Amino acid sequence: MKKTIKILTVAAASAFIMSCDSDESKKGRFLLKGNEKLEENDPKGALEFYAEAIELDSTYADAYYNKALAHLELNQLSESILDLSLAIKYRPDYFDARFTRGLNYLDNGEFYNAREDAQALVKIDGQNWKSYFLVGLVEEKLTNFSTALEAFEQASLLNPENSDLLVNQATIYYYQKDLEKAKELLTNAMEVNPMEPNLHNLRSMIYFDEGNYVEALSSVEKAISLNNSQAYFYNNKGLYLLFLDQQEEGLALINQSIQMDEKNPFALRNKGIYYVMQGDRVSALQYLVELNQNYPDMDLVKEYLEKAQAL
């Protein structure tokens, strides 16, 4: 109750100052206050100010866009997509809103909606590397690897100092089992930015495929030291520990990864592998049978399903 009174008092005190202001200047002020709250790591407070701006102008695209960013800070993906859609509705050529919505669609598993945004970005600004970056991410998810690679290469031509784009290209070559080309691109990325965590994670995956589990573990630990918020880094570390005969430590990291991202099928595969190593046929089949149905081309699934069935 005291908080409500305080807000009313502040509003009353500023009413005279703002009485001569236009709605245009008022909404801009609310937008700036919202931005300050975001910078202070207070997304809920930011949402209140953005809502005030929108109340003054229901077509205020910038307020919808920034409001979407605040929702993202709160892990409210659906709400963020809704606000970005409103920003785009009122400003169809809003590049940043379309780019962010495309990334959100990818995170939400809406790959074809993300593709529409990516194609729109190329039309809006065909000289912006982000347009092709989003195209590449979408086509990678849709397993159109040749198209994804072309898009990442185009993005890299437009932004040659971006190590992420080299890692993206290396990832596609990794999927295509061209490990030598992937390693070559990772070497180039190291020269641009040796502190890129995804670079070290991908290098760990290549080491694992080559049977070098010690180096795989070392590389993924480097990735985690640079970015400790990625679930798949912990999942990979857990997998490598399984193959280094540290099964319980590996399982703990795989479970941690699942808690961070329950949608990752690779973590479920790794739990299946753990149970095969433990000789637990029933638990292993619980994971591997369904994965084999849904992801028949996933590495190690068929191999460990056969091992589980033989237990």
Q: With the CA atoms of 158, 160, 163 and 167 taken in that order, what torsion angle do they form, in degrees rounded to the nearest 10?
A: 70
CA 110 and chain centroid, separation: 13
> What pLDDT shows up at residue 26?
87
How far apart (Å, rounded) are the C-alpha atoms in residues 248 and 47? 43
The pair of structure tokens assigned to 282 is: 């029933």
Q: How far is CA 115 from CA 69, 101, 102, in A?
A: 21, 11, 7
Residue-wise pLDDT for 264-311, tens only, equals 899 999 999 999 999 999 999 999 999 999 999 899 999 999 999 999
Q: With the CA atoms of 207, 176, 224 and 156 taken in that order, what torsion angle do they form, in degrees rounded to the nearest 10?
A: 120
Region class of 159: left (phi > 0), else alpha (psi between -120 and 50), else beta: beta
Q: What's the distance, Cα to Cα, between the start and end of the chain in Å? A: 65
> What pLDDT shows up at residue 27?
86
How far apart (Å, rounded) are the C-alpha atoms in residues 193 and 90? 38
> What pLDDT shows up at residue 21?
61
- Contact present, 31 and 63 (Cβ < 8 Å): yes
Q: Which residues contact 17 (CB under 8 A, 6 or more apart)?
A: none
> What pLDDT shows up at residue 85?
97
Q: Give every residue of the chain whose pLDDT is below 70, as ranges.
A: 1-23
Output the pTM of the full model: 0.83
Which domains are present in the chain? 21-91 (1.25.40.10), 249-311 (no CATH)
